[in-house]
Amino acid sequence: MKNLFDLLFTRENLLAVLLCLILIALVIFTADTSPTWIYQGF
């Protein structure tokens, strides 16, 4: 079991998961604000 844990939770995998969580959080927190630059031409 220890070998499987070491295989799954390497430093590279943890950094990839952290980056993915940050990107998901950015999408969630910025989804409610409407981008005003799209509507500037109208």
Buried b / exposed e over 6-22, threshold 16 CB at 10 Å, is: eeeeeeeeeeeeeeeee
pLDDT at 24: 93
Length of the chain (residues):
42
34: region left, alpha or beta (phi > 0 left; psi from -120 to 50 alpha): beta
Q: Where are the domains of the chain?
A: 2-30
Rounded CA separation 23/3 (Å): 30
One pLDDT digit (tens) per residue for the chain, 42 residues = 677 777 778 889 999 999 999 999 998 887 766 666 666 666
pLDDT at 22: 96
Q: What is the pLDDT of residue 29?
A: 83
The DSSP element (H or E) to which 5 belongs, if any, is helix 2-8
pLDDT at 34: 65
For residue 17, the 8-state DSSP code is: H
